[in-house]
Structure 1
């Protein structure tokens, strides 16, 4: 019987599907110069879906629905809102992309991927989880290689498809082993099987390693990060922004639910592995970012480093017996960090997109004099980069404070020291980029004759993101309270 709770649990997905069908029906009847309106329809529809979901789709007590395939709780709901917000802003940024903004299929692919990400956040069963991951990934492979006339884009799409398929295959093999050993695909039943002693620790960690390959690819953590710089550089810039934020957050939604729920008794051991990966990921990402001259590659390595920072919150998970739920900082800090990171990195990629749309340039040195060509755009880039560097009063600062506090609480002081040292490295290359924006001039020093105008979609998207970066960093108590409430629903 289809109950009200079941309907509420998939209300965001129903709204996304309705929006996609509506877009498919109306877009073919628009004239060529009207097809840009697909972006308005997609963004407006998603913002409306967020409002409707907040009004009528909020969960109560954690509930398993649809044959225990989906878990209807605040953790999944919070991630869904983040994903829909990311997709709505991406649709606005995609509108004025010269080669992709007038093609309705780009927005359809965006909505299809969003649908998969939403299901990733609430999957309580391995079968549903794998289907959700593939639903989210396949449209992104297409979007990465969307510009068929651009060699870099086709290369990015091919590399993303090739490596993504390999990682998914390894992860699927891990899922099959889990079912073979445990006899169930339900995540919340797996914990009982793995803690009963029927499955040896060696087998559990073998499965852990196989699954981590697939999820690590989504997170772009070392050693699974090699695809990110080329894919981010070659993809359309709005797609690269969506990849670095929503796609990465979806991976963290999976790792938080999967490992916290299915392997709780092995936490002291697997968190050591993740701690090592966190330290290596932060260090490699920041060190390689230092030498970059292309702004999108720099943001790609920055994104890798931030995956390492967020992993600290995952590492800081403490078993229920060690701390009460209300004192558990680890999961809550991950959720909050991802919220701050999404608005910050989307703002950074939005500024890059606004600049390259006018100039067609992506090298850092080409940003010389940008603050004089558009002072507001320069300020928004400054806010984004200072937030990524972890400077107050922006969202990135508070997010780092929470994950570092969670790490100290869990006893990983050495990892926090590594994180702080890496943050200092990050400050260098972020401020080095801003040096070109504010201190350097164009070769002829005629910035007044080369303005960078912002179209209405860019102005709206960047204003929303800039306000979000500041609000998350200053009025952070409500955001963290929601993150904490969402994390508590894990258990």
Structure 2
């Protein structure tokens, strides 16, 4: 058995422990280097995953699986973590003497996500989920002197614990009726019984909370607004993608469409999520809160691909999850820069940003247009795959709702662009952005444009990743 395929998880875990220990032993001297160590280790994880992308191995009788699907998401998590750490360089002063713990928790959250992507067992998924969410509970409340951050952390802890209990209860019902927790073995051991249906509903509800799908979205706006902006970024892109990675594996293998027609339920859930997320976003004046509701709507678009459960739909889920990392991280990176320079993320704080920092305004505009699905940005190609899958599956109405909501989203995205290019601001000085954050901004900008202009590379990568489902 080739245990070297577990190197990404082992490396990330070891570095997380190392960073934590260095911070405890060397204190001030270590804090200057822990960020570099964490960043380089995540780059190494990304390279390892890409180099061995097509290698597959099943460990521990199906409990843990390394395959193209898991490797795709591991690359996504490592890439998102790299961008978040680069962007957090301008936020470090607010973390005071807790820098080592920040990087360690980021590493542990990333390990939890990778475990969720490779888990072939319900309990392994739950372990990965809890490792990720416990790290996020702490990171959300990381600004101890900030009342909104502490409140957000407490809310996330309470609501997250409830959702985890619901998810675990659903898993226990499935185990009781199937006699196994291995995902690939569940389908052959179950039949349609009321208790099983209840278990599936509870599992779906637990994951719907993690991906902020309506009606389990109520936590997202307050937590996104109160958490430190780099943590909000990782919550929006990493945590959501991890939820979809596990949800997709469960619904395709453990509860197949040949036995349970769950696609219509997911289609309705996707439609509600798109509508509620976009309509409430229209009224928001705080950009972080607006992006929170936008993130809810984006979950609806991805759910449309999962509901389709065909080649276009599943490829669209992975394709959109990857491009969402660049578009959303870019938007939040600009919000971080504005918050650091002005102390606010209200839309008024973005006034005249086009004059004060043309690059920040350009990145924000392009990333928001990508989230809206405007060609030739990456978001257009992603939504094309998702809605094409929905149409092929017979959900023309779902694709129409998705298209309509995408058009509505243009309005509140352009309100931010209007403030940046037309709004007035008494402050005329240029905004300062540290070099690592500038690098993250450039990566997000170029990737958003290049994926939109030439989607074939990512499309082929996503196609290879979903081959295990075909």
Q: TM-score, normalised by structure 2?
A: 0.96
Q: TM-score, normalised by structure 1?
A: 0.92
Structure 2 partner of 1:324: none
Deviations 1:46-70 (A, max 9, x none): 1122113323x3343x532123111
Match of 2:450 among 442, 460, 471: 471
Match of 1:377 among 355, 360, 371: 360
Unpaired segments of 5 or more residues in structure 1?
319-327
- Distance in structure 2 (CA, Å) of the matches to 1:434 and 1:274: 33
- Distance in structure 1 (CA, Å) of the matches to 2:243 and 2:48: 25
- Distance in structure 2 (CA, Å) of the matches to 1:90 and 1:100: 15
- Distance in structure 2 (CA, Å) of the matches to 1:280 and 1:358: 37
- Distance in structure 1 (CA, Å) of the matches to 2:34 and 2:42: 12
Q: SS of the residue aligned with 1:269?
A: coil
Alignment of 1:252-271 (within 5 A): 252-265=244-257, 269-271=261-263
The Cα shift of 1:391 comes to: 0.9
Bigger shift: residues 380-389 or 30-39: 30-39
Kept in 1: contact 2:229–2:336 (CA 8 A): yes
- Distance in structure 1 (CA, Å) of the matches to 2:66 and 2:456: 24
> Does residue 330 of structure 2 align to residue 347 of structure 1?
yes
> Does residue 192 of structure 2 align to residue 192 of structure 1?
no
Structure 1 partner of 2:462: 483
Unpaired segments of 5 or more residues in structure 2?
none
Kept in 2: contact 1:95–1:101 (CA 8 A): no
- Distance in structure 1 (CA, Å) of the matches to 2:355 and 2:320: 32
Deviations 1:400-448 (A, max 9, x none): 1110111111110000111111011100000111100011121x3x52x
- Distance in structure 2 (CA, Å) of the matches to 1:150 and 1:266: 51
- Distance in structure 2 (CA, Å) of the matches to 1:452 and 1:82: 30
> Does residue 396 of structure 2 align to residue 404 of structure 1?
no
Match of 1:80 among 51, 70, 74: 74
> Does residue 148 of structure 2 align to residue 157 of structure 1?
no
- Distance in structure 2 (CA, Å) of the matches to 1:101 and 1:83: 26
> Does residue 31 of structure 2 align to residue 35 of structure 1?
yes
Match of 1:219 among 211, 215, 230: 211
Deviations 1:36-93 (A, max 9, x none): 54323212221122113323x3343x53212311112100010001001111111112
Structure 2 partner of 1:148: 144
Kept in 2: contact 1:36–1:95 (CA 8 A): no
The Cα shift of 1:207 comes to: 1.4
Q: SS of the residue aligned with 1:156?
A: helix
Number of aligned residues: 468
Structure 2 partner of 1:462: 441
Structure 2 partner of 1:127: 123
Kept in 1: contact 2:210–2:239 (CA 8 A): yes
The Cα shift of 1:125 comes to: 0.6
> Does residue 86 of structure 2 align to residue 92 of structure 1?
yes
- Distance in structure 1 (CA, Å) of the matches to 2:259 and 2:288: 36
Q: SS of the residue aligned with 1:71?
A: strand
Kept in 2: contact 1:36–1:101 (CA 8 A): no
Q: CA distance change for structure 1 residues 30 and 423 in 2, over 3 Å: closer, same or farther?
A: same
Structure 2 partner of 1:436: 419
Q: SS of the residue aligned with 2:257?
A: helix
Q: Which runs of 4+ in 1 moved over 6 A?
A: none
Kept in 1: contact 2:209–2:216 (CA 8 A): yes
Structure 2 partner of 1:67: 61
Structure 1 partner of 2:339: 356
